[in-house]
Structure 1
Amino acid sequence: MQQHSTVPEENLEVDSTHEDTVAKTPEAIQILQLRAELWLERCLNQLQRSINHCLSCTLTTPTTEDSEAAIFQTAVDELSVALGTCSVAIALTDTTVSACSLESKPACQICYMALTAQAQAATLDRSTVILITGKKLCLQVGQPISLEDLQQLQNQHPQSAWQLKDELGIISWLITGTPLQVVDGEPLEALKTQLRQQLVERSLAAVAIALAQSRQIQAIALQYQQLEAQNQELVRANKLKSEFLANTSHEIRTPLSSILGFTHLLQAQGFSPDNLRHQEYLNIILNSGQHLLALINDILDLSKIEANQLEVQMETVDVPELCRSVLALVKEKASDKGLQLRLDLEPHATVLVADSLRLKQMLFNLLSNALKFTSQGTVGLQVKQKSIFIHFTVWDTGTGISQEEQALLFQPYRQIANVVAGRQEGTGLGLALTHKLVELHGGWVEFQSEINHGSQFTIVLPLTAAAGVREQGEQREQGEQGEQGEQSTINNQQSTIDSLILLVEDNVHNAKLINTYLRKLGYQVNWVQNAAQMWQALEGLQPGLILMDIQLPDVDGFTLLQQLQAHEHYRTIPVIAQTAMAMKGDRETCLAAGAVDYISKPIDLKALALLVSKYSNARAV
């Protein structure tokens, strides 16, 4: 059995009297003061450790609000322990309440209460705050509290409410319950009560700093996430670029092989116009060159669209004629694979307003893809008119597209696996370009696909265009009629033309092509390769027209144009700029420098003939 020692009551009275006497000495009071200050620092250190833990978790906290909530809850828990039996709460300001309505609506709401066991036990019968007026306020989460009551708690003694501010103003209020009365004979507790105000104020200062640090950490974390996402996107883009360059290299080298190979055959065998095989070689060279140009145009078109620089030329399109024309382009490829081509035209789907060249490009892309992913069966084009829209549906009996790959269909440079061909074909631009061209027409793309059951892509376009687009199309039609008249003029004048053209071109092959073509039309051509030779030629010639390349080896064409405009003897000579600069704004740049017109490379010989006929009659030899 446990033995309990007992002390005579008279001895307790002596010890108590002795302690009271000792406590009143200066040395004892100083010791008690130090103990109270140590208690204050210990409480603040514990609060700071808990806050630091919250900050360390900020990087993994989903939102800034969650991080701030953790800091607020930590503050009320730690202050509740430090203040003993007092309940502690934080009320957040209601930013939705206007200043003019503070009297009728609560300004704050209690959002955080102490959760420690000690605080919960203490607040069972002490969860109220008493105002000077005798009004009792209940401290419970969700309880509204007016600004007037908070200000009374702040101003009364002992103070029971404190403001927590940041750079934007008051963000919350800290509220403490009524403290217990200090029992006589407890000098240390009395000293702690005196330091209560300092404890709360320094705690709030630590909380304010922690909230600012939390927001800063969250901002840095957000920047890190954004940088990480950008880095992943750059990695993905770099991978796509490598794949794109590899595929593009293959696609470009294939037609180039045909062009170079059959050109060498013609050179070795000696070209004979009557040789049918040689005519076939020439057709292959021409088709390969056109295919090569189409690849380059796809890349340029997508760049123009992404830069909002591509314009569509609207006109009335003969739907049956356009569909038959585009099917003719893929007929040979279908025949080589043993596939059937089918055209299903609804009788009254006859015309629409669109850019015929771009519409043909869109349908060609879809048909080419259908043929690429079909090993046997049929590829078809169906056209139906529905209300004010016309539907062009390209369907096939091919391999189909998985759900995962469907999400990548219209992303540029993306290609899905082709089990039919056994390798990637194309540049991965066809569907992306088609999708963007359809949107430029005011339409959209629909598609359905199922593995091993084929696919179908539908281009939905409005039958008519907006007034501004129709006007653009009418202007284009008028321009084409004018060009047809000019072409007729060229044909009629070819036998009598005797104008001199000064050709400024540094590329020998381009110069020979233009020289040969213009001489065949009846023009005299003097060819020079650079700016220095041009000035020498002008000393003894009076050309009716200058055909100038913009990118010359010694002086750029823009500078030459400006120099010609500044020279009184040469400023009246019309200059046509010919250049590989084919982006939007290049034409305007050339005209601003002094050119009368512009033609882009590769040179369209018929278009060149129209321009030369238009401007070469200004001077004649």
Structure 2
Amino acid sequence: MTANPLDDLRPLCRDEAAFEQLQQVLAQREASREQSQLDEVRQAQRTQILEAQRQAAEAASQAKSRFLAMISHELRTPLNAVLGLSALLSRQVVGPLNAKQAEYLDYIHGSGEHLLAIISDILDLSKVETGQEHLRLAEVSLAELCQTCLAMVQPQAAEKGLTLSYQGSAEVSTCLADERRLRQMLLNLLSNAVKFTYRGQIALAVRRCGAQIEFQVSDTGIGIPADQLEHIFQPFTQLDRGLNRQYDGTGLGLALTRQLAQLHGGHLRVESQVGRGSQFFLRLPLQGPAASGAARPTVRLGQNDLRLVLIDNDLDHHRALVAYVRTCGWQVTGCRSWAEVQQYLRAHRPDLVIVGDREARNLALGDYLKQLKPPQVAQPIKVAILRPNDLALDTLADADAYIDLPLTIAKLERVLSL
């Protein structure tokens, strides 16, 4: 039996009961200290495991994007021959064709063009996800662009007897954006609306919302179940997942459109009812991303006066984010509660507040974010929210940016450029 270190003091204590009580108190404190040390070790192990899992997930995501980009490039080469030679044969440059041969060639060429469109979507999505997509910003005429997009889907709409309509905005006629990418986003939304609508109309409306421009595409189609509203923005996801799907497509259009919206500093959300149609809302900054004069948003580096506040109840979960931001020259302060944020605001004004994905689920988040806007503060403070994959965008509080997880360097750089 191990000797009790207090036994030597027993002769000096006149009260045996008090001595026994002292021993019990000290034993309890020792047990509590050992338990605390054990808890710290376990917490450190959990943090290491979570960090390893996060790094593995990010590495897997980047590897997937690199693979898709590589294989898509490889597929394009033989497609050039398929499309080029089928077009030449269709024009009968090597001899006349009978009706059946012409029919088959048209089918081959159409299928090749469809495959090329799919490959292009995969390439675009992988480029955005890996931060390789650079915007080419310019003044875009909204009315002209919208009318062009409607004209491009008019033949498909006419085949189904659908009516197309456009409602412009008298408040704004232009916006700063990548015209090719903006056209691509609108065409994706309009094409989807035509695809999933049997009767009725497709409407495109443009309006100004403060410093943002909103494009609303509405249809009277089949609608989307409530439990699928966020899943449709995931790559390769469609409503009809059966082997004999009624609707063609890969499910890349909406995923790409949301990524391109975020690249512009905007976001995309949807409202829908089954059997009554859907409304997609695409919001973009009127003046483009923060670094509107550059080909891509520029991260503000080496400015030690830039302050960032990260609010989340588990700051260890964001160690990689904090480390990178600090290497960019920012001062980073982590807060586990909004009381800590308020205390920080009494002494400093942050340039950016990032709400972690755990805090994003806080039902009172909207009220807390109002503390970062006038009249609570003299100047509004930029806010970005890390959005969990299972959390619908329209359930989140208003923010300047929403970043889908997993968080990559490219996505983080866009946040820092706000």
Compute the TM-score of the two structures, normalised by the length of structure 1: 0.36
Tell me the distance in 2 between the aligned counterparts of 1:471 and 1:230: 30
User: Where does residue 215 of structure 1 map in the other structure?
Assistant: 40
| Counterpart-to-counterpart distance in 2, 1:276 and 1:328 | 31
Distance change in 2, residues 1:203/1:388 (3 Å): closer
Q: Which structure is larger by alpha-carbon Rg, 1 or 2?
A: 1
Q: Is the aligned partner of 1:340 residue 2:165?
A: no
- The 1:318–1:290 alpha-carbon spacing in structure 2 relative to 1, beyond 3 Å, is farther
Give secondary structure in 1 for the equivalent of 2:270: strand
**Aligned in 2, Cα 1:205/1:308: closer, same or farther, shift over 3 Å?**
same
Secondary structure at the residue paired with 1:374? Answer: coil
Q: What are the ranges of 5 or more consecutive residues in structure 1 without an aligned counterpart? A: 1-37, 45-82, 84-153, 160-177, 182-192, 474-621
RMSD: 5.3
Aligned partner letter, 2:183? K
Partners of 1:284 and 1:350 lie apart in 2 by: 41
User: Does the aligned pair in 2 maintain the 1:266–1:278 contact within 8 Å?
Assistant: no
Matched, 1:308 2:131: yes
Question: How far does residue 283 in structure 1 lie from its aligned partner after superposition?
Answer: 7.5
Partner AA of 1:345 in structure 2: Q
Query: Relative to 1, partners in 2 of residues 1:227 and 1:385: Cα closer, same or farther, differing over 3 Å?
Result: closer
Output aligned runs, 1:431-470, within 5 Å: 431-465=254-288, 469-470=292-293
Contact 1:373 1:418 in 2 (8 A): no
Secondary structure of the equivalent of 1:415? coil
Equivalent AA in structure 2 for residue 158 of structure 1:
C
1:267 to 1:436, Cα distance in 2 relative to 1, 3 A: closer
Instruction: Tell me the equivalent position of 1:158.
Output: 13
Report the Cα offset of residue 203 of structure 1: 7.2
Among 81, 105, 121, the residue aligned to 1:298: 121
Partner of 2:17: 180
Secondary structure of the structure 2 residue equivalent to 1:376: coil
Is contact 2:268-2:282 (8 Å) kept? yes
For residues 221 and 285 of structure 2, what CA distance do their matches in structure 1 show?
29
Q: Matches of 1:350 and 1:274 in 2, distance apart?
A: 50
Contact 1:443–1:459 under 8 Å retained in 2 = yes
SS in structure 2 opposite 1:180? helix
Matches within 5 A, 1:539-558: none
Give per-residue Cα distances to partners, 1:401-435, cap 9 Å, x unaligned.
1221113233333333379x835642322112211
Write the letter of the residue equivalent to 1:383.
Answer: V
SS in structure 2 at match of 1:409: helix
Q: CA offset at residue 228 of structure 1?
A: 8.3
CA deviation digits over 1:141-190, x for unaligned, max 9?
xxxxxxxxxxxxx9x9539xxxxxxxxxxxxxxxxxx6438xxxxxxxxx
Q: How does 1:197-346 map to 2 (within 5 A)?
A: 208-220=33-45, 263=86, 266=89, 271=94, 289-336=112-159, 338-346=160-168
**2:234 maps to 1:411:** yes
Contact 2:229 2:270 in 1 (8 A): no
- CA displacement 1:257-304 (0-9 Å, x = unmatched): x95799399389775699999999888766655543332232222222
Q: Equivalent of 1:428, from 251, 260, 273?
A: 251
Residues 232 and 251, structure 2, Cα contact 8 Å, conserved in 1: no
How far apart, in 1, do the equivalents of 2:83 and 2:37 lie?
A: 69
Aligned equivalents of 2:222, 2:23: Cα separation in 1: 77
Instruction: Give the aligned residue type for 2:218.
Output: W
The letter of the residue matching 1:398 is G
**Separation of aligned partners in 1, 2:101 and 2:205:** 38
Whether contact under 8 Å (2:121, 2:252) holds in the other structure is: yes
Partner of 1:361: 184
CA distance in 2, matches of 1:334, 1:355: 26
2:195 to 372, 377, 380: 372
Q: Measured at CA, do residues 374 and 267 of structure 1 come closer, stay the same or move farther in structure 2, by a change above 3 Å?
A: closer
> What's 1:393 paired with?
216
Higher RCO by CA contacts (8 Å cutoff, separation 6 or greater): 2
Task: Report the more deviating stretch, 357-366 or 454-463.
Answer: 454-463
Judging changes above 3 Å, is the alpha-carbon distance between structure 1 residues 260 and 313 closer, same or farther for their aligned structure 2 residues?
closer
In structure 1, how many angstroms separate the alpha carbons of the residues matched to 2:87 and 2:125? 34
Q: Percent identity?
A: 37
C-alpha distance in structure 2 between counterparts of 1:214 and 1:395, whole Å: 54
Number of matched pairs: 280
> Within 1, Cα distance between the matches of 2:287 and 2:100?
47
Structure 2: how far apart are the matches of 1:276 and 1:320? Answer: 43
Query: If the length of structure 2 is used for normalisation, what is the TM-score?
Result: 0.50
Question: How far 1:370 sits from its partner (Å)?
Answer: 1.5
Distance of 1:273 and 1:459 partners within structure 2: 49
